Structures are given as structure tokens and as C-alpha cells.
Amino acid sequence: MQTVISIKWGTRYGSDYVNRLYNMVKRNTVNETRFVCFTEDATGVKPGVEIKPLPQINIPDRVSSTPWRKLCLWQDPLEDISGDVLFLDLDLVITGNMDDFFSYEPGRYAVIHNWTQPNLQIGNTSCFRFRVGKHTHIFDEFVKDPEAILRQYRIEQQYISHKIPDQVFWPKEWCVSFKHNLLPPWPQRFFTVPPLPDDTKLVAFTGKPDPEDAVIGKWPEKNFLKKCYKHVRPTPWIAEHWR
């Protein structure tokens, strides 16, 4: 049994994002796969998704709605979940088979090599796999003194990578960033649809645009000057996979 987990908190992403992610995981796995969503509001989530309450964590209010909340997953026990589990952000678009994420370097913390820091050993936690009960010091040290950790690290993925020096990165071609890898450079982005490489397994939508925007060629931006270069063509392959 493979286990995929996600977290939905706050109001940025609705139940439709959970349902799409569940559908994509099921379509792109051959092995039996359990899908768990931790959330405080399961309204509208489809049957088949296992709902678990948000794990408790001592976290300052000012960062409680940020990815720092993901640190709650490093506690032990974690509900009834055990073994190697794959975490996926809600705004991913899965485009290839996901079973390889479980057989790759089993037992180790595996994560995306952050696209914006290619020369540093920093993971991007849009997609990572970890073993429940291993590296619990990540959770324990944070909840003991969260302010000390927040002073030292700008974002939670820097903290995790620093605390797990033997981390491994997914093969580069598996996980790509829509904005950093696929979006054509300016001004080509005004005329060219972002391509989808054949060997890509998932596409991450960090920041803006979200999948629902990029699929119709919309880039939410209020600043007039930024609108001059923040542009994306309608991208049909998103609709093909993000459903």
C-alpha cells in the first residue's frame, strides 16, 4: 500500500483542488494507493479521500497560514500513518506515473531540488517523501522554540534541508516548475504556449499563476508595470491532466 498525503488549511484552495489531486494520483498510480488529506474543513471533498484532522503544532499566528505548517507532519505518531509517505501540494498538476516516487531511494527523505537555488542543497517541499517517525527532531525543535527557528530560517524548506543533510533529490526531469522551467522567456511567452516535456511526472505552480489561471492564459497581477511581462498563453495540456 502506497500512501499519499496532502494538507488543506485556510481558504486559498477549495475542495476542488483536493478532488483533482486525488483523481490525478489515482489515474497515475498502478500500485494500490491510499490518499489522505489533513484539513479542518472537508466540505465538498469526494468519497475515497481519507480525511484526517489537522495535526496540532505550536506555531506563531503570523506564519500559521504559510508552508511552515507542513512541519506538523514530522511528528510521531501521525494518526494511523506509517512507513514512507509522499506529500503533495494541492496546486500540483500530475502528468506521469507516480509509483516511482515510492521505489526511489526508499527510507530516505527525497525532495525536489529547489529550482531557484540550484547551487544550494535546498529542497522544494511541493513534493517530498519521508518516513513517519524518522527525523522527528524537525518537529520537536520547532515546537520547543519556534521563534528561534524563524529567526534563523526564512522558509521551512531551508530548515528541513539543513536538518537532514543526507537528503536526496528526485531526478531533475520528474518535477518541473511551470514558472521557472516551462514558461517561455519574455517576449516569447506572448506567442508560445508553455511546453510539457515527455518525461515530466508533475508540474509545480509556485506563487502565481495557479493552474486555474494558466489553463486560460490569465496571470493575476494588479501592478501595471508587472503586467507587461507577467503573461502566459492559454495552456491546453493543463486541462488534460488537471481534472
pLDDT digits (tens, 9 = 90+) for 129-161: 999 999 999 999 999 999 999 999 999 999 999
Residue with cell 483536493: 18
CA atoms within 13 A of residue 30's CA, in its CB half-sphere: 6
Mean pLDDT of all residues belonging to the chain: 95
Domains of the chain, by residue range, sit at 2-169, 175-241
Residue with cell 527557528: 149
Phi and psi angles of residue 84, each rounded to the nearest 5 degrees, phi first? -75, 125
Q: Which CATH class is domain 2-169?
A: alpha beta
* Whole-prediction pTM: 0.96
pLDDT digits (tens, 9 = 90+) for 5-55: 999 999 899 999 999 999 999 999 999 999 999 999 999 999 999 999 999
Long-range contacts of 15-18 (CB under 8 A, 24+ apart): 15/42, 15/43, 15/44, 15/45, 15/46, 16/44, 17/90, 17/91, 18/45, 18/46, 18/49, 18/90
CA distance 222 to 113: 31
